[in-house]
Amino acid sequence: MKKITSQQQKVLECIEVYIKETGFPPTRIEICKELGFKSPNAAEMHLRALERKGLITIKSGSSRGICLNNKTVFDGYPVIGLVAAGSPTLAEENIEKIINCDPELFGSNFDYFLKVKGLSMIEAGILENDLVAIKKTTEIKNGDLVVARIDEEVTLKHFFKSQNKIELRPANKDYSVITIDDKVSHFEIEGKGIGLLRNH
């Protein structure tokens, strides 16, 4: 790979940050705004240089037609909204959109984003409409943030187990702890939270 200039590096980083934060690449005008270029032609010049050096691919006819090459090509992850009662979490009716994100953003692989509803986790810094990256796993320990299915409802809480009792604890004193006991006909852990995106 050919060496790139400091300005080209800034343009490349701008593209990477835009994709991480918004799910799509920036336009030439947005690159100019971010980096202080006076003309979209300056952005275009750096983009063409990056393309010649094999770091990006530019699709003609699209203002956002910039694709990162090699390891910086990001995967699409579904964003799960309010889960319909009784339906699988990743069912089509629960998927609000697909966003592109670096699979190594949180230092671990994950499978989807869960869009937070309600205020039960605000004291853990998790706000309504935040996107929590969820890894599908049943390997969890006390204190982990988990996605749990209780009967036909899905909830996001902290997991704690002692002897034969399981508690799903909120991070908001105004909400009650959920105790899993014989009254619950169905309970399963669908995954654990490994990271968070705030796009609002």
Residues assigned a catalytic role = 120, 157
Matching residue, tokens 């990271």: 195
Using the CB atoms, write b or e for 160-171: b if 16+ within 10 Å.
Answer: eeeeeebebbbb
Q: What residue ranges in the chain does DSSP mark as E strands?
A: 56-58, 66-68, 75-80, 95-101, 112-115, 131-135, 145-150, 153-162, 165-169, 178-180, 187-197
With a CB cutoff of 8 Å and minimum separation 6, the contacts of 88 are 94
Q: In what order do the strands lie in the sheet with 131-135?
A: 95-101, 75-80, 112-115, 131-135, 187-197, 145-150, 153-162, 165-169, 178-180
Going from the C-alpha of 60 to that of each of 48, 54, 67, 76, the distances in angstroms are 12, 16, 11, 22
